Structure 1
């Protein structure tokens, strides 16, 4: 069984893609010390967590619990290693999707994960890690993500006014810590700028990896960086212009292609 289980559950737009890319890039080097389950290993589970954050119905929560249980049951033997489960969607959808205004589903989801992990591995140390970000840059990044990936038509000021409550990630960390009976660690993206592996370093600190191995790990370039303002405005206009998803997506794909360096 694992000696430690770390549930890294977001939040979105806090360097999570870079963290997962770093873990994946170094998975062979880490293998003796860390077992990884990243977002692409649990597509069914994150589909259910997104659904629960949207609907908050008991049936979807049962689906979440069932899929996390299967994730636990399907794990291979990993004696004395640290199990890292990392996906920002473990906290639900990115606020701003449909009527979803905040991360209030996160404490419920994380309590369910803790309860299942404890039942499966009662002797393992369980902890939660939450990456955070200052409110203003989080709002800007979340807005850009919605413009790029959905049919968002709000301008930024209206988006920021509506979803400002969701940007209090430190407040949500405190809420999780008050409701899930395990240590809750967190680190702001802004404080990771000068770290050798960027936002992945605070998570790796919790894995007790030998210092000699840490020095050998490979850094990766920042992932999923924000769009330029001209590209963002062009995509916003495409969202406002095209009613069909197919036409909208085709227009935005063309905008992205034209924005690539040649």
Structure 2
């Protein structure tokens, strides 16, 4: 029975830090488990995103087909396990597209993932689905900042949260996934709970991999990624988004502010 761990999000819950941890410690993990993070499965993920925005059965079928093709490229040998960490497996980040309401597509996408693993990797895998979560206010603020920095969002936080908050319940999504992919176990852990743990946001993933002690003891921690910036920088970005700058000038102005802030750290 082959060990498989699926870490499918959620966005802005420490997933980037967890993925960088896996890659940074690849030499200790790879002998026991293949590692696939977001950029490695970009092709099938584009159809997971399309399905989550309402593209329908055609997009879901294409996701299934391309995810299977990706799995077929893996060389796991007789015993190596597999960990996949990619938040876009759960669908598009809420707030980026008006057609996306929370993670309503996630349970269906996870069902497809489970079926593909059974068909390509192991008909009876030792498989666990894990979701990183986060306190709602902190999660919404991080989603708001992401959209503020990447798009021309002009809503202040309260307006953004009032619109998005009612459509997003991470724990309820976890429960829906649990129903759909039973009997496979589904675990979750808030980002706040991983703070101070040995491997930060990657801790629950490392626990699920059941690495030998020699490999686990060799793992090295890394700094957190995508930390919320200062309040002044957030205010400056909101002001820029509300300005009459052209899109190219807006991008350049944001980049200049980011570079200036980095020099002050």
Q: Same-fold call, TM > 0.5?
A: yes
The match for 1:123 is: 124
Alignment of 1:181-200 (within 5 A): 181=182, 182-200=184-202
Q: In the superposition, relative to structure 1, how do residues 138 and 93 fare at CA in structure 2: closer, same or farther (>3 Å)?
A: same
Post-superposition CA distance 1:132-151 (Å, at most 9, x none): 11111111111111111122
The match for 2:51 is: 52
The match for 2:106 is: 106
Q: Distance in 2 between matches of 1:133 and 1:80?
A: 34
| TM norm structure 1 | 0.95
Post-superposition CA distance 1:99-125 (Å, at most 9, x none): 123011110111111111111220322
Q: Distance in 2 between matches of 1:62 and 1:243?
A: 41
| TM norm structure 2 | 0.94
Q: CA deviation at 1:56?
A: 3.7
The match for 2:139 is: 138
Whether the aligned pair in 2 keeps the contact of 1:139 and 1:167 (CA below 8 Å) is no
Post-superposition CA distance 1:37-82 (Å, at most 9, x none): 1111111122221221112411111221111111111111332222
Secondary structure of the residue aligned to 2:132 is strand
Whether the aligned pair in 2 keeps the contact of 1:118 and 1:126 (CA below 8 Å) is no
The match for 2:161 is: 160
The match for 1:11 is: 10
The match for 2:239 is: 237
Secondary structure of the residue aligned to 2:113 is helix
Whether the aligned pair in 1 keeps the contact of 2:144 and 2:160 (CA below 8 Å) is yes
Post-superposition CA distance 1:218-250 (Å, at most 9, x none): 000001111211111111122222464323212
Whether the aligned pair in 1 keeps the contact of 2:32 and 2:211 (CA below 8 Å) is yes
Q: Distance in 2 between matches of 1:239 and 1:255?
A: 13
Whether the aligned pair in 2 keeps the contact of 1:15 and 1:131 (CA below 8 Å) is yes
Residue 90, structure 1, aligned to residue 64, structure 2? no
Q: Distance in 2 between matches of 1:47 and 1:233?
A: 32
Runs of at least 5 residues in structure 1 that lack an aligned partner in the other structure = none
Secondary structure of the residue aligned to 2:228 is coil
Q: CA RMSD in A?
A: 1.5
Secondary structure of the residue aligned to 2:104 is coil
Residue 256, structure 1, aligned to residue 258, structure 2? yes
Whether the aligned pair in 2 keeps the contact of 1:20 and 1:86 (CA below 8 Å) is yes
Q: Distance in 2 between matches of 1:64 and 1:245?
A: 32
Count of aligned pairs = 261
Alignment of 1:30-45 (within 5 A): 30-45=29-44
Q: Distance in 1 between matches of 2:160 and 2:103?
A: 16
Alignment of 1:166-181 (within 5 A): 166-181=167-182
Q: Distance in 1 between matches of 2:244 and 2:79?
A: 54
The match for 1:29 is: 28
Whether the aligned pair in 1 keeps the contact of 2:7 and 2:86 (CA below 8 Å) is yes
Q: Distance in 2 between matches of 1:78 and 1:71?
A: 16
